């Protein structure tokens, strides 16, 4: 008669897990949490490094970096007036940042937001002048449609060239920005020029009644709401829909997406169209809420700064919002820095340039950040030193 061996009792208890399973699961949980917060950690670190480097730049000019940063904060967020100025500057940055952030979901680097903004602004001005007497709501709606459509078609052409002809989207979008600016200058100095605009050629004014007014109780135009809504819609589209899943799959591995039967070319064209529509809306906002007409001020660099916003935000449409506020605040503080420390306007551009370079360098850190291993190694070294001392 065979003897039945007793059932071994697991040291882990009722769960039945081996003793080593808990540490493994703990490490997996910590790694998962670190991966989730890795973009935030690296972005904040990049901003801190940028401030240190810019502080060295200020020290060479015999300025106290802490005093300069205090004035920058005051000029960006310190008062109600400065904060509202920051909000107003951040609105176009949100929209132009989406022009880079959305195509990046498919692995496309589009840097033509400046051109889409200019094209959208000119188109909105033309439509606004053509419908000047149709009523404010009709005029603004038509200007919004024209700006978004023209900007979308402009960047959509970039996506078409990339999808069907293999043309590099980075080069083509940049070159098309120069074409857009040259086209704007040709039109506002020629066929669309207002005869009364002597020193600064521009189109005729769309009319005060057709201007995009301020948000109630704020000295900030409705373009801010456009920017916030666009970022929210972009996040839902790219992170919560099958379209966004297909875009992410295409960006992760285009060959695998093709083998899976995804319409990769159509995805590229449509995403670029949506990206250009966001930047074109920024151009409409600049015409309808700020200038009232199309002129050279449309090419003020919002499209290029939007590239930096998208990179710092790691191409996350929701992350674009706080980053746009940060860089909008830096731009808003430029005048106060000039008056207080006699710094040139280009100083804030130097800061933005340093930030862009640091962000590019920080790209090499993604996937290599393991703070928990560093902490365990440090603890082990302390234990060894304590044992040796004993």
Q: How many angstroms separate the CA atoms of 38 and 32, rounded? A: 10
Nearest to 149 by CA among 123, 177, 185: 123
Q: Higher pLDDT residue, 93 or 41? A: 93
DSSP-assigned letter for residue 9: P
What pLDDT was estimated at residue 285?
96
What pLDDT was estimated at residue 1?
45
The yes-or-no verdict on residue 17 having pLDDT over 70 is no
pLDDT in tens, 26-54: 556 655 666 677 878 888 889 999 999 99
What pLDDT was estimated at residue 2?
47
User: Could you tell me the CA-to-CA distances from 42 to 55, 92, 292 in Å, in that order?
Assistant: 20, 25, 40
What pLDDT was estimated at residue 198?
80
SS3 361: helix
> What rounded mean pLDDT belongs to the chain?
87
Least confident of 28-42, 52-66, 108-122, 130-144: 28-42
Mean pLDDT (whole number) for 106-117? 96
Tokens (6 digits) for 177: 């920005």
- Work out the angle at residue 343's Cα, subtended by the Cα atoms of residues 341 and 349, and round it to the nearest 5 degrees: 135
Q: How confident is the model at residue 111 (pLDDT cuts 50, 70, 90)?
A: very high
- Rounded to 5 degrees, φ, ψ at 69 are -65, -35
């Amino acid at each position: 008669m065979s003897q039945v061996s007793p059932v071994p009792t697991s040291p882990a208890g009722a769960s039945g897990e081996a003793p080593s399973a808990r540490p493994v699961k703990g490490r997996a949980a910590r790694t998962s949490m670190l991966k989730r917060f890795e973009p935030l950690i690296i972005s904040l670190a990049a901003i801190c490094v940028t401030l240190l480097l810019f502080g060295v730049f200020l020290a060479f000019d015999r300025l106290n970096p802490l005093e300069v940063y205090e004035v920058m904060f005051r000029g960006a967020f310190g008062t109600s007036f400065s904060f509202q100025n920051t909000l107003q500057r951040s609105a176009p940055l949100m929209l132009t940042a989406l022009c880079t952030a959305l195509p990046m979901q498919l692995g496309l680097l589009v840097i033509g937001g400046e051109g889409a903004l200019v094209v959208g602004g000119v188109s909105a001005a033309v439509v606004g002048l053509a419908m000047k007497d149709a009523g404010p709501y009709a005029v603004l709606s038509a200007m919004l449609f024209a700006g978004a459509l023209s900007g979308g078609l402009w960047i959509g052409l970039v996506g078409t060239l990339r999808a069907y002809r293999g043309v590099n989207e980075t080069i083509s979008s940049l070159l098309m920005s120069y074409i857009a600016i040259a086209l704007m200058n040709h039109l506002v100095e020629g066929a669309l020029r207002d005869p009364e605009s002597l020193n600064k050629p521009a189109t005729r004014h769309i009319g005060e009644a057709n201007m995009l007014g301020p948000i109630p109780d704020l000295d900030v135009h409705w373009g801010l709401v456009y920017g916030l809504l666009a970022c929210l819609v972009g996040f839902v589209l790219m992170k919560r829909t099958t379209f966004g899943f297909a875009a992410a799959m295409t960006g992760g591995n285009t060959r695998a997406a093709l083998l899976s039967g995804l319409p990769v070319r159509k995805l590229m064209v449509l995403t670029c169209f949506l990206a250009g529509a966001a930047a074109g809306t920024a151009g409409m906002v600049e015409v309808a809420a700020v200038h009232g007409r199309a002129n050279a001020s449309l090419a003020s660099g919002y499209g290029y700064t939007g590239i930096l916003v998208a990179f710092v935000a790691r191409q996350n449409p929701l992350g674009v919002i706080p980053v746009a506020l940060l860089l909008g605040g830096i731009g808003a503080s430029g005048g106060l820095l000039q008056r207080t420390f006699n710094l040139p306007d280009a100083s804030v551009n130097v800061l933005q340039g340093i930030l862009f370079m640091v962000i590019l360098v920080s790209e090499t850190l993604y996937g290599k950040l393991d703070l928990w291993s560093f902490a365990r190694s440090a603890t082990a070294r302390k234990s060894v030193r304590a044992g040796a001392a004993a």
